[in-house]
Amino acid sequence: MNKKYFFKKEIILLPSCVQPLVKKNISNLDANKNLKDLNQNIKSLFKKIRHINKKFEIIISDCSQDFQLSKEDIYTINDFSNVHIINIKFNIEELKEIQLRGKGYSEFLMIKHTLKHFNLSDDCNIHKLTARYSLVFPELLLNYHSNLMKKNDIVILISYLFRRTSCHFFTIKKGYLTQIIDQILEELDDNNGNILEKVFFFFIKNNNLLKNKAKRSKIYSYYKSSLIPGSKLARYGSSNYFYQFLRNIAFLI
Q: What's the gap between Cα 207 and its chain centre? A: 22
With beta carbons less than 8 A apart as the criterion, state whether 86 and 62 touch: yes
| CATH assignment of the domain containing 43 | 3.90.550
Which residues span the domain enclosing 125?
Answer: 4-251
Which residues in the chain land under pLDDT 50? 233
Is the distance from CB of 170 to CB of 128 less than 8 angstroms? Answer: yes
Distance CA 54, CA 15 (A): 21
Q: What pLDDT shows up at residue 77?
A: 95
Give the residue from 118, 104, 127, 125 showing the smallest Cα distance to 196.
Answer: 104
Buried b (16+ CB within 10 A) or exposed e, 209-237: beeebbbbbebbbbbeeebebbbeeeeee
pLDDT of residue 21: 78
Task: Report H helices in 118-227.
Answer: 138-148, 174-187, 196-206
Q: What DSSP designation does 64 have? A: -
Q: Where are the alpha helices (DSSP H) in 50-207?
A: 52-55, 92-101, 103-117, 138-148, 174-187, 196-206
pTM of the complete model = 0.91
Q: Please give the tally of structural domains in the chain.
A: 1
Tell me what pLDDT residue 233 has.
46
Residue 229's pLDDT is: 62
